Chain A
Amino acid sequence: MSREGTGKMLGAQVRRVEDPRVLLGKTQYVDDLVLPDMLAVAFVRSPYAHAKITKIDVQAALTKPGVACVLTGKDILETIKPLRVEFDTQKVPFHKSCNWHVLTPDKVRFVGDLVAAVVATDRYTAEDAAELVEVDYEPFEAVADMESALLADAPLVHEEWGDNVMERLEAQIGEVGKAFQEADCVVSERFVTGRHMASPLETRGCVAQFDVATEALTVWSSTQVPHTLRASLATLLDLAEHRIRVISPDVGGGFGLKAHPFPEEVVVTYLARALRKPVKWIEDRREHLSASLQAKHQIVTAEMALKSDGSVLGLKARFLSDAGGYSSYPWSSAFEPKHAAGTITGPYKIPAFSFETCTVATNKASIGVYRGVGIPIAALTMERLLDMGAQKLDLDPAEIRLRNMIRKEEHPYTTLMGAEIESGSHQASLQQALDILGYDDFRAEQQKARQNGRYLGVGIGSYVEGTAHNSAVFDSFGVKIGGYESATLRIDESGKVTVFVGTHSHGQGHHTVYAQLIADTLGVALEDVAVVQGDTQATPRGWGTWASRSAVTGGGAVTSAAQKLRDKLLRIAARLTEVPADDLELVQGAVQRKTGAVRLLSIPELAHRIIAQPTSLPPDEEPGLDVTVAYEPPPITHSNATHVAALEVDIETGQVQLLRYIVVEDCGTIINPIIVNGQIQGGVAQGIGSALYEQAVYDDAGQFLTGTLMDYLIPTAADVPQVEIGHIETPSPYTLHGIKGMGEGGAIAPPAAIANAVADALSPFGVRVNEVPLTPERVLSMLDRAQTNPGTE
């Protein structure tokens, strides 16, 4: 009975069903929501990186006309719990937790830290009044960078820790010492990634409303995780969870940043309840850049041991990560280096690996998850070391990779870290990417250009993207979240379908892809499927959208639910028509006899009987066509890809000009190529930002310097080339339809591929390329350094 669907929609180039609403301007983002008597919040934030609050005078603000209240940390110390990430010490042995007060009562830990909330009739008045709140600070010396955070005399971000170390982890797998003894060649480098930010175009924001009659709270928030937010609000505010409804309306991008519950959301919800009026907070861009969550800032010191034929014998790495002032929930701000260490082997067979991760607190905004989490720097490290090894051993960069990659027939391949990479096409994707470029021709062109004083380069970045982690994997990380996903599917009397799902689409096109999967399974038209998401009252408990999980987990849940209802429809149809169920199928809105393709009865007719005339049902069948399914995916589902960047470096200006950018991606069975290609192009654009432009900058005193989009540079239409995309489809043997997740992938490899290409372009100068973003100033200083110390690489 569990035959696969008709397969008509799976893989089809379907235009997105959600687009007309957006294009006609009918969306509703959180700031579009207007409620009667709604008040606005503005936050008072710390101008200091590290200081004690000695006095707060709210009088002037309070007396300003239009101001409803001013809330400080002391006011809510007893009533609102701080955010706090805690781990089971069995699973994460060395981790120190800290309290992240939703308004800090005593000490500020970064520029932008929350000091007070001002509520007024409108945002203009609230912002004016926020400036009238007088705060006296006693400034402390700040911990402004991760290496000085480790010094014995460093100021302490959290005094109770005794030092600034949030988490440490060490492991050795395989015989690393022997690998390095037996090596013909060892390469080593220190890599630094910039402090990047997801920076979605819509900032954070929320509205909370308290219903006095029912004592129920409704919170609209620009979040990727409505259920997780609801649970956090209930815990931190000590409220009954079932009295809180979280709605995530249209959301203008998230990329991981909005997969965290935030202090501001807690404060706004508290205020709505306390004031018995709706309260809105819309973050401005400076707040977003300075005080939401930053990402990916690490220093990795790594060494690779190789044989003369290019095979890698072993790897050692130390990951140092700058967590900022607090720890973000639920993964903690120490997740980034762990995930980098856990994924660094990528598509390669590495027999021995030892590593140390160390996460330190500093006086900066905290680190959160952002597209790729840890894998971009893991890939940068691995891919640069391979190129450095190839150069020393006089091998071609493509050749050294092909030699070390997991071969197709070696799947399922268990990595050193214990993950099973179920299937993949590492060598084929690399080969195809080089073919698209015309690798040999490019090398010839590069030679010619060099003679004319132009510096072209090509760089490769290959990776494996672990997606859709299941509950057991999160449990092993010590993170208390589920990896399953839930869906309720309902067929109504007219035969139309509604699916209620726990994931949240904020650009990924879930309405379309889920409708495609359901249309195939139930034999209905795409437009007969409605998708409901982002409302804790309507949908079953789900985990939202992040970590490239939705196609596998949400897709798995909606497909399983549709299969259950399909089976029920066919079972009942078999009794009614006296045709064996296995000779029946659902096609184009009807039950059809396979033999002879005879239409027997329409789905609306059958649905009507099951729902509204249940007396005609066989006695062992329940009336109704509703089903809820929780789908637990396989442990980790792995996509793979190779990126190739071809570029030119202007050695006078340090400017990097991308000439071509190629991605060959294997995410198993593709549901909708338009959407997959869109995710790749968009991910690559963010990766180009990380590689060339973006960085959140602090000065030595911890002052934040990049508070506008003129300082934090997101790539524009002039900076991002059309990505040339190739596909290979190696289905997962374990997921429904063989689907693999892929949303983050595009953003993973650009720093690796671009850094390799810049190093290749500048190889006549022997430049060490070990930092991103490769801004013009940085490229020039790398060139300078190479000219003053020739032969360092």
Chain B
Amino acid sequence: MAETQFAESQTIRVRVNGQEYEREVPVRRLLADFIRHDLGLTATHLGCEHGVCGACTIIMDGESVRSCLLFAVQADGAELQTLEGLADGDDMHPLQQAFWDNHALQCGFCTSGFLMSAVDLLDKHPRPSEEEIRHGLSGNLCRCTGYANIIKAVQAVAEQSQS
């Protein structure tokens, strides 16, 4: 997309879901817009564009981040993971499977953000208590499910990995 008057742009290199990309981007382009519109990875969603809803959550260098609060240029050199990189082809990641089994989604708009936050949560706390799951996911808003099944799904995966 042409950024006519903001000629100031920069070339960045990122690895997204294991694939290298080199792109010239306007310096003010949001990372979320870069991922969605420049790379066409539209599983990452935007619910507020001001850092509250968590719909845009991705993993950047092993940490969950809100891609609406970063500029694309800040991701230069980074390794990113989005929902598109979670499954192995059509073989679901255990969290995806658990979300399905537990009816942890309704409209699905928040789901990508929740999955990425949950990946990060389980990465850091493989055996979270319910309290820790609630706290760990409290930066993601869901307007449909009332959260209970999302929490169950994350608990199910945590339990599986312990057995």
Q: Is B134 engaged at the interface, CB distance under 8 Å to the other chain?
A: yes
Q: Is A243 engaged at the interface, CB distance under 8 Å to the other chain?
A: no
Is the pair B50, A24 in contact by a Cβ cutoff of 8 Å?
no
Our pick among A29, A65, A255 for the contact of B143 (Cβ within 8 Å) is A255
Is the pair A686, B143 in contact by a Cβ cutoff of 8 Å?
yes
Is the pair B109, A252 in contact by a Cβ cutoff of 8 Å?
yes
Q: Mark A182-202, 1 if CB is under 8 A from B, else 0.
A: 000000000000000011111
Among residues 254 to 281 in chain A, which have CB atoms less than 8 Å away from a CB atom of chain B? 255
Which A residues lie within 8 Å of B151 (CB)? 717, 722
Nearest residue (CB) in B for A253 is B107
Is the pair B42, A32 in contact by a Cβ cutoff of 8 Å?
yes
Could you tell me the dominant secondary structure of chain A's interface residues? loop
Which A residues lie within 8 Å of B144 (CB)? 201, 253, 507, 682
Please report the C-alpha to C-alpha distance between residue A65 and residue B2 in the assembled complex, in whole angstroms. Answer: 10
Nearest residue (CB) in B for A679 is B106
Which B residues lie within 8 Å of A709 (CB)? 48, 50, 52-53, 141
Which A residues lie within 8 Å of B140 (CB)? 716-717
Q: Is A550 engaged at the interface, CB distance under 8 Å to the other chain?
A: no
Our pick among B2, B105, B142 for the contact of A22 (Cβ within 8 Å) is B105
Which B residues lie within 8 Å of A31 (CB)? 36, 42, 46
Among residues 123 to 157 in chain B, which have CB atoms less than 8 Å away from a CB atom of chain A? 133-135, 137-151
Q: Which of B8-16, B59-67, B69-77, B95-103 contacts A (4 or more CB under 8 A)?
A: B95-103
Q: Which of A12-20, A171-179, A611-619 contacts B (4 or more CB under 8 A)?
A: A12-20
Q: Which of A118-126, A650-658, A757-765 contacts B (4 or more CB under 8 A)?
A: A118-126
Which B residues lie within 8 Å of A685 (CB)? 145-147
Q: Is A76 engaged at the interface, CB distance under 8 Å to the other chain?
A: no
Is the pair A720, B106 in contact by a Cβ cutoff of 8 Å?
no
B10 to chain A, nearest CB (A): 16
What is the interface size of chain A, counting residues whose CB is below 8 A from a CB of the partner? 62
Please report the C-alpha to C-alpha distance between residue A25 and residue B1 in the assembled complex, in whole angstroms. Answer: 23
B125 to chain A, nearest CB (A): 15
Please report the C-alpha to C-alpha distance between residue A32 and residue B52 in the assembled complex, in whole angstroms. Answer: 21
Total A-B residue pairs with C-beta atoms closer than 8 Å? 185
Q: Is B83 engaged at the interface, CB distance under 8 Å to the other chain?
A: yes
Please report the C-alpha to C-alpha distance between residue A121 and residue B115 in the assembled complex, in whole angstroms. Answer: 33
Q: Is A710 engaged at the interface, CB distance under 8 Å to the other chain?
A: yes
Is the pair A125, B4 in contact by a Cβ cutoff of 8 Å?
yes
Is the pair B37, A717 in contact by a Cβ cutoff of 8 Å?
no
Which B residues lie within 8 Å of A789 (CB)? none
Among residues 568 to 584 in chain A, which have CB atoms less than 8 Å away from a CB atom of chain B? none
Among residues 176 to 226 in chain A, which have CB atoms less than 8 Å away from a CB atom of chain B? 198-203
Nearest residue (CB) in A for B130 is A722
Known A252-B108, A682-B145, A723-B148; further 9 A-B contacts with Cβ < 8 A = A19-B100, A32-B36, A122-B1, A200-B109, A678-B106, A716-B147, A717-B138, A717-B150, A717-B151
Residues of B within 8 A of A (CB): 1-6, 26, 28-29, 36-37, 40-43, 45-50, 52-53, 55, 82-84, 86-87, 90, 92, 96, 99-101, 103, 105-112, 115, 133-135, 137-151
Residues of A within 8 A of B (CB): 15-16, 19-20, 22-29, 31-32, 34, 64-66, 121-122, 124-125, 128, 198-203, 250-253, 255, 284-285, 506-509, 674-675, 677-678, 681-686, 708-710, 714, 716-718, 720-723, 746
